[in-house]
């Protein structure tokens, strides 16, 4: 089974992707994380695009994604988080992977901005926390798991957030119509557990 998660910034795609990858033994690929962890020649250009709230060129991201998809842990299926982000990417993906379900996690723009302004993450283990919403770290400013100091992502500043939200509406939202026959929509403005429950219920109610 291959699944795509779609949702505006801060909608909880990463959180639900982790849950679903455990539940269905699928490999979780976050294109944002792949790009942030890139090394070598491509790093400088990619970092600058990300920090300015711009998208990385379709060709580059597809190349990086394809390198990741052929690894052994993807044999059982993939959950894509952050890809595709426009119709062109959706068309390119179609040539590479058969998608069974597309899950849209819906939250308002206002909620998205609030979550991103409050998002802090652990630079060591990659866990996300939120000072306004959930989950909050047990000890303020430090990771529950490894104790490292939590940091804000460079692209979680007001200007970049506004740009990314605009791009979501203009470029990413149209893919929902492209995938309308495979689409499941859930309410992202409920507890993490309730979002997971709604996803599972809707997956089991809709035939593959």
For 149, which DSSP code? Answer: B
Q: Does 61 bind ligand ADP (CB under 6 A)?
A: yes
How far apart are alpha carbons 49 and 163 in whole angstroms?
Answer: 12
Question: What's the min distance (Å) between Cβ of 47 and ligand ADP?
Answer: 10
Question: What's the min distance (Å) between Cβ of 141 and ligand ADP?
Answer: 21
Question: What's the min distance (Å) between Cβ of 151 and ligand ADP?
Answer: 14
Pairing label, strands 78-81, 3-7: parallel
Applying CB under 6 A, which part among 30-38, 120-128, 131-139, 187-195 lies near ligand ADP? 30-38
Which of 153, 173, 180, 182 is the catalytic position? 153
Q: Does 28 bind ligand ADP (CB under 6 A)?
A: no
Site for ligand ADP in 136-165 (CB under 6 A): 155, 164
Query: Which of 3, 4, 26, 56 contacts ligand ADP by CB under 6 A?
Result: 56
Other C-beta atoms lying within 10 Å of the C-beta of residue 162: 14
How far apart are alpha carbons 12 and 184 in whole angstroms?
Answer: 15
- Distance separating the N- and C-terminal Cα atoms of the chain: 9
Other C-beta atoms lying within 10 Å of the C-beta of residue 205: 8
| Burial (Cβ within 10 Å: 0-12, 13-18, ≥19) of residue 24 | middle
Site for ligand ADP in 178-207 (CB under 6 A): none
Q: Does 17 bind ligand ADP (CB under 6 A)?
A: no
Q: Does 31 bind ligand ADP (CB under 6 A)?
A: yes
Q: Which is nearer to ligand ADP, 16 or 31 (CB)?
A: 31
Q: Which is nearer to ligand ADP, 32 or 200 (CB)?
A: 32
Structure tokens at 101: 């379900």
Q: Answer yes or no: 13 catalytic.
A: yes
Other C-beta atoms lying within 10 Å of the C-beta of residue 69: 16
């Amino acid at each position: 089974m291959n699944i795509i998660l779609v949702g505006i910034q801060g909608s909880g795609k990463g959180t639900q992707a982790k849950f679903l990858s455990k539940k269905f033994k699928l490999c979780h690929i976050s294109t944002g994380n792949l790009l942030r962890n890139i090394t070598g020649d491509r790093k400088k250009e990619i970092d600058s695009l990300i920090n300015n709230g711009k998208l990385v060129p379709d060709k580059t991201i597809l190349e990086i994604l394809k390198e990741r998809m052929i690894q052994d842990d993807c044999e059982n299926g993939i959950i894509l988080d952050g890809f595709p982000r426009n119709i062109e990417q959706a068309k390119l993906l179609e040539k590479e992977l058969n998608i069974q379900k597309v899950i849209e996690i819906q939250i308002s723009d206002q909620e998205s901005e609030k979550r991103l302004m409050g998002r802090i993450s652990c630079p060591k283990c990659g866990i996300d926390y939120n000072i306004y919403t959930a989950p909050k770290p047990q000890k303020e400013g430090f990771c529950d798991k490894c104790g490292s100091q939590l940091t804000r992502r460079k692209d979680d500043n007001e200007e970049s957030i506004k740009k990314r939200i605009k791009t979501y509406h203009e470029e990413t939202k149209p893919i929902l119509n492209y995938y309308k026959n495979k689409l499941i929509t859930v309410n992202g403005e409920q507890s993490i557990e309730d979002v997971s429950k709604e996803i599972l219920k809707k997956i089991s109610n809709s035939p593959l």
